[in-house]
Chains A and B, each alone.
Chain A
Amino acid sequence: DADVTQTPRNRITKTGKRIMLECSQTKGHDRMYWYRQDPGLGLRLIYYSFDVKDINKGEISDGYSVSRQAQAKFSLSLESAIPNQTALYFCATRQGSEQFFGPGTRLTVL
């Protein structure tokens, strides 16, 4: 299912580097989300956007920023990556009460 795509799928970087994770969707949904998942901690919300002009912080937004370039695109940036940002990152869209997740980006910060 390629309705929600994420690039890159895997990324290894060094502390202090700026990283951008990209998300695109073909579902035509207005609501988009960025989550990170860590072992034993479940999914935690970083940022969300309900339309192109709407950006909101989630529970763990510190150290991250986002850009909603278009309805179909929602990018997550780590301005200066640190090792505790090593995690699996998911983008999701929402239609009604159902969320549709992308395949994830595995990010490792050394």
Chain B
Amino acid sequence: SQKIEQNSEALNIQEGKTATLTCNYTNYSPAYLQWYRQDPGRGPVFLLLIRENEKEKRKERLKVTFDTTLKQSLFHITASQPADSATYLCALDMEGGSYIPTFGRGTSLIVHP
């Protein structure tokens, strides 16, 4: 069956360090992968999208990689700040398909001052 895995344990890091979150998937051939940020009690907010033919995408302090061989995406936040503390969700979608993304359960990031 299709599965998306994100680390259920919270990631705790010190301010200024690079946070790295992982999204693994099985039995998918996604056309693209998205990352969202969700703050407690609020709706997810889109951050970045990376397509299957892209290895890396950057936006300010954010970097996403996509390895279709390993079936894995890594999400990096450099120079992390306490304001980056949130839950980060990955979502997979199929090109020209159903427009029905499948979301992972998310990983909580806590950045300590």
Contacts and interface: CB of A to CB of B under 8 A. Distances in A.
Asked if A and B are interacting partners, one says: yes
Interface of A: 4, 31, 40-43, 45, 48, 50, 58, 88, 90, 92, 94, 97-104, 106
B32 A97 contact: yes
Interface size classification for chain B:
20 to 34
Interface string B78-113: 000000000001010100000111011110000000
28 contacts: A4-B43, A40-B105, A42-B89, A42-B106, A43-B89, A43-B103, A48-B100, A50-B99, A58-B100, A88-B41, A92-B43, A94-B99, A97-B32, A98-B34, A98-B46, A98-B49, A99-B34, A99-B36, A99-B44, A99-B46, A99-B91, A99-B101, A100-B46, A101-B43, A101-B44, A101-B45, A103-B42, A104-B41
Interface of B: 8, 32, 34, 36, 41-46, 49, 89, 91, 93, 99-101, 103-106
A43 B93 CA distance: 14
A49 to B, nearest CB: 11
Contacts of B43: 4, 90, 92, 101-104
Contacts of B99: 31, 50, 94
Contacts, number: 46
Contact of B8 (A40, A50, A98, A106): A40
Contacts of A94: 99
Contacts of B45: 101
A65 to B, nearest CB: 19
Contacts of A45: 100
Given A41-B105, A101-B43, A103-B42, 13 more contacts: A40-B105, A42-B103, A43-B103, A90-B43, A94-B99, A98-B46, A99-B34, A99-B44, A99-B91, A99-B101, A100-B46, A103-B43, A106-B41
A88 B41 CA distance: 8
Given A48-B100, A97-B93, A42 B42 contact: no
A81 B103 CA distance: 25
